[in-house]
Amino acid sequence: MEWEYLVEKAIKAKENAYVPYSEFRVGAAVLTDSGKVFVGCNVENASYGAAICAERTAVVKAVSEGDTKIKAIAITSDSQDYTFPCGICRQVIAEFCDEETQVICSNKNGKYVRYYVKDILPHAFTKKDLL
């Protein structure tokens, strides 16, 4: 799959963002090992702690449909700069990936850079740490 396709899916998902407080729309698209793509947007809430990021929305949708292995995730926003996942999202992504999982960080125009999860969350706390 071309990474541009995943970025475009994230850009489209961003359109559904519910952001009356920050006005900062974010979209994400997760590609799973099964080849399915799950999208998500950020959804804010008056009780800020109840808000959810686009990345976690997409990951939770994938997991709730039985796809627990992330091959890649694309993230975008309305920013001119590349959009990176927050710390909580990085940890959630790490739960469902391996060393080859790609994190594609895009800007509002679809330009992107690619990283591995281990590059954006070195020394992640994972299941192996519990053994």
Residue 44 annotated among the catalytic residues of the structure: no
Annotated catalytic residue within 2, 23, 55, 65: 55
Q: What is the DSSP string of 56-94?
A: HHHHHHHHHTT---EEEEEEEES-SSPP---HHHHHHHH
CATH code assigned to 3-130: 3.40.140.10
Q: What burial letters (b/e) apply to 43-68, b meaning 16+ CB within 10 Å?
A: bbeeeeeebbbbbbbbbebbbeeebe
**SS3 (DSSP) at 54:** helix
- Residues 41-80 have pLDDT tens digits of 999 999 999 999 999 999 999 999 999 999 999 999 999 9
**SS3 (DSSP) at 39:** strand
Give the pLDDT mean for 84-95.
96
Please report the pLDDT score of residue 1 as a whole number.
62
The pTM of the full predicted model, rounded to 2 decimals, is 0.94
